[in-house]
Structure 1
Amino acid sequence: MKEAIRRIAPDAEYHTDELCHINELSNTADDPELSIARARVAPGIVTRWHRLIGTTERYVIVEGQGRVEVGGLAPQDVGPGDAVIIPPMCPQRIANTGSGDLVFLALCTPRFMPEAYEDIEHEMGG
Structure 2
Amino acid sequence: MLKDIFIDDFQYVVDELLIRNKSILDSLTKFSESAARVNRSIIKSVTNCGCIRINAKKQEIPIDVSLKEAKKYLKTHVEGQLCENCRDLIEKEIGSTLFYLASICNTLDLNLYDIIIKEIERMKTLGEFNLR
Q: TM-score range by the shorter chain?
A: under 0.3
The structure that has the greater radius of gyration is: 2
More strand by share: 1
- Compute the TM-score of the two structures, normalised by the length of structure 1: 0.24
- Compute the TM-score of the two structures, normalised by the length of structure 2: 0.23
Relative contact order, higher structure (CA 8 A, sep 6+): 2
